[in-house]
Amino acid sequence: MGLFDKVNQVSRSVSESSKNAAETSNLKKKIAYEQERIQEQLQEIGRLFYENPDGDHKAELEVCADIDDRKRRIESMRSDLSSMKGVRVCSKCGARFDEKYSFAFCGQCGAKLED
């Protein structure tokens, strides 16, 4: 029975690793997609302003709000990526610590680290 237990354990480990790799790849693709959309939105702001430089710029502000939403999604996905890799990131200064760093506060700026 010991051999079959080992085979099952190795099989689960390989399956979990491939699932983690797929999730990581998926998140990276989503981040790249959001970054491309941000670039398109920035171009749209330029076009809108060029076509109506003396206008009220409501359309440009709406596009800016969309960009802000996309940036928040990117940060959330990057946080998910870091946690999948076992890395903790300080939300205040951006310092990165591996899973062995067990302190509750950032070693760079002193801010409280989230679990």
Domain boundaries along the sequence of the chain = 20-84, 88-115
The answer to whether 77 and 26 have CB atoms below 8 angstroms apart is no
Q: What are phi and psi of 96, to 5 degrees?
A: -115, 135
- Supply the pLDDT for residue 115: 65
The answer to whether 103 and 113 have CB atoms below 8 angstroms apart is yes
Find the mean pLDDT for residues 102-107.
Answer: 81
* In the predicted structure, residue 67 carries a pLDDT above the cut 90: yes
Mean pLDDT of the chain: 86
The answer to whether 113 and 90 have CB atoms below 8 angstroms apart is yes
Q: For residue 53, what are the CA distances in angstroms to 41, 45, 59, 67, 91?
A: 17, 11, 12, 20, 37
- Supply the pLDDT for residue 70: 97
- Supply the pLDDT for residue 81: 87
The answer to whether 85 and 108 have CB atoms below 8 angstroms apart is no
